Amino acid sequence: MNDLVSSSYGHPTAGPSMVDLSLDEMQDMLRQLAHQFSVDEVRPNAEQWDMESEYPLEAIKSAHELGLLNLHIPEKYGGAGLGCMEEVIVNEELAWGDPGFATAAYATSLAIAPIITGGTEEQKEKWLRKVADGALASYAVTEPGAGSDVASIKTSAVKDGDEYVLNGEKMWITGAGYADFFFVLVKTDAEAGYRGMSGFLVEADSDGLTLGKKERNMGQRCSDTRSVIFDGVRVPTENLLGGAENDGWMNAMKAFDMSRPNIAAHATGLARAAFEHALQYADERETFGNKLHQHQAIQFMLVDMKTSIEASRLLTWKSAALADAGEKNTEAAAHAKRFSADIAMQVSTDAVQVFGGFGYSEEYPVARLMRAAKVMQIYEGSSQIQRMIIGREMLR
């Protein structure tokens, strides 16, 4: 037990660089660029995007042209070749602008993560360069009967000559209606559980691939979410990710180690936005002869929000720094995603409370932020799944 306790204090191989919490000049310039983009392009449109369930395609294109998206594509494939830390810095600012936009804009990064971690050189050259040139992609894993329990997926791929034939249905696929291609996790050995899974790269215009209706979600409504149906979809063997069957599970899970720090950054940005709205309102509104924030009950709520946001960011940065250092960040990413998602829900709920009756009205942004926060506790591994991951990792 003593070994378990001692191992929980930090990371044994995390060197002195881990305690330097300042941004370098390039990172700070990137943060400022992302923040200004959110001020100019995201916040002015966020309410309309949400009310109209409008996919922010033009804004996503603009963010891509500014160099704010898919930062982890290596330079040799046309990308910026930056790290996870730069991505989380940008993603916090984009989610501060609007979490729905941040989710819609980030979907492609998740979809190409398995290509970066497990694709062949030819696949990286083809598919990563497509994204560097502006293509959009979606990560298709979840199914109607397989959400948290990924090993229960039913979508199958059967080899037929120099092609594979895919059949099945995916659900809750972010960006599906606008994707140029999909990363699809399927069963190539139905009896082998998670050891029988393979990943495929599937063009969106493939014969037999159809999309379901756009889901009407509680929040983040500008993020296009649909089912994807595969009915005899033929995919060439060169689109089998990594060139080998039954290697898809690890690639799909490695993608989450890359993406969860960024979802944590989204949650941090959302919480920060909700806090700032609440703080401004508490400075403008007066009750019983005093500004709202002068009442200790409200002031302490705001203090707790601020502390939680600071902790959320630090957990997020640690998980990103470990990834960039080449260290295993599975547990750190789970800590960051779980804590930040729960904090986003708590802070946005408290922000509505600070606004009182006005907070319950859609005329004020905190209602939209509260609706947007809930899904962060669900997608990319629910808060309960993150606890399972942390428990498994700490007991190894």
Q: What is the pLDDT of residues 249-269, one digit of tens each?
A: 888 888 889 999 999 999 999
Q: Establish how many alpha carbons lie within 13 A of residue 291's alpha carbon, considering only the half-sphere containing its beta carbon.
A: 10
Tell me, what's the pLDDT at 173?
A: 97
Q: Quote the mean pLDDT of the chain.
A: 92
Q: What is the pLDDT of residues 29-62, one digit of tens each?
A: 999 999 999 999 999 999 999 999 999 999 999 9
CA–CA distance from 152 to each of 45, 87, 166 (Å)?
39, 31, 16
Q: Does 80 or 148 have the greater pLDDT score? A: 80
Residues spanned by the domain of 329 = 250-394
The active-site residue out of 41, 87, 331, 380 is: 380
Dump the DSSP string for 229-268.
EEEEEEEEGGGBGGG-TT-HHHHHHHHHHHHHHHHHHHHH
Q: Is the pLDDT of residue 3 over 80?
A: no
Last residue of a domain, one of 83, 114, 132: 132
Q: Does 9 or 139 have the greater pLDDT score? A: 139
Mean pLDDT for the stretch of residues 329-334: 96
Last residue of a domain, one of 81, 102, 132: 132
Instruction: Mark whether 208 and 312 lie in a shared domain.
Output: no
CB-CB contact of 129 with 175 (8 Å): no
Instruction: Mark whether 143 and 105 lie in a shared domain.
Output: no
Position 3 in a domain? no
What's the chain's Rg over C-alpha atoms? 21
Which pTM was predicted?
A: 0.92
Determine whether 58 is an active site residue.
Answer: no
Instruction: Mark whether 95 and 142 lie in a shared domain.
Output: no
Q: What is the number of domains present in the chain?
A: 3
Instruction: Mark whether 229 and 125 lie in a shared domain.
Output: no
**Sorting pLDDT into bands at 50, 70 and 90, what band is 194?**
confident
Q: What is the pLDDT of residues 296-306, one digit of tens each?
A: 999 999 999 99
Position 5 in a domain? no
Instruction: Mark whether 172 and 256 lie in a shared domain.
Output: no
Q: Is the pLDDT of residue 372 over 50?
A: yes
